[in-house]
A and B are shown apart, each in its own frame.
Chain A
Amino acid sequence: MELIQQIRDKARKLLEEGAVEGVIGYERASDGVTSRPLFAYDPSATERLIFDETCAHNLVKYLLDKKGKKMAVVVKPCDSRAINLLLNERQIERDKVFIIGVGCPGMVETSWNHKSETLQAKCRSCQLFKPLVYDFLAGGEIERQAEEETYSDITEAETESVATRREFWLEQFGRCIRCYACRQVCPGCYCPVCFAERLEPLWVGIRIAPEENELWQTIRTFHLAGRCIGCNECERVCPVGIPLSLLNRKLEKDVKELFAFQAGLDPEEQPPFATFKKEEKLEFGE
Chain B
Amino acid sequence: MSVEYQPKVIGFLCNWCSYAGADMAGTSRMGYPQNIRIIRVPCSGRVDPLFVVKCFQRGADGVLVSGCHPGDCHYTEGNYHTRRRFALLREFLDYLGIAKERLRVEWISASEGQRFAELVSDFTAELARLGPRSKI
Contact = CB atoms under 8 A, between A and B. Distances in A.
Contacts of A278: 70-71, 80
B87 A286 contact: no
B134 A284 contact: no
B95 A165 contact: yes
Given A210-B136, A284-B105, A285-B105, A162 B94 contact: yes
Interface in B78-95: 80-81, 83-95
Q: Classify the secondary structure of B's interface with A.
A: helix
B50 interface: yes
Contacts of B98: 162, 166
Contact-residue size bin, chain B (C-beta under 8 Å from the other chain)? 20 to 34
Interface string B86-114: 11111111111111000011110000000
B53 interface: yes
B90 A276 contact: no
Nearest to A217: B96
B96 A254 contact: no
A273 B50 CA distance: 15
A57 to B, nearest CB: 28
B56 to A, nearest CB: 9
B125 to A, nearest CB: 19
B69 interface: yes
Nearest to A168: B97
A251 B88 contact: yes
Contact-residue size bin, chain A (C-beta under 8 Å from the other chain)? 35 or more
B49 interface: yes
User: Which of B80, B85, B88, B93 neighbours the largest number of chain A CB atoms within 10 Å of its CB?
Assistant: B88
A277 B80 CA distance: 8
A255 B87 CA distance: 10
Nearest to A164: B97
B97 A203 contact: no
Contacts of A162: 94, 97-99
Interface string B38-71: 0000000000011001100100000000000111
A39 B104 CA distance: 50
Contacts of B126: none
B77 interface: yes
A219 interface: yes
Interface string A222-254: 100100000000000000000000000011001
B136 A273 contact: no
A212 B104 CA distance: 23
Contact of B92 (A170, A211, A251): A251
B68 to A, nearest CB: 11
B84 A170 contact: no
A170 B136 contact: yes
B53 A218 contact: yes
Contacts of A280: 83
Given A211-B136, A272-B84, A273-B81, A219 B97 contact: no
A166 B70 contact: no
A215 B54 contact: yes
5 contacts: A211-B136, A218-B92, A221-B92, A258-B84, A282-B84
Interface of B: 49-50, 53-54, 57, 69-71, 77, 80-81, 83-99, 104-107, 134, 136
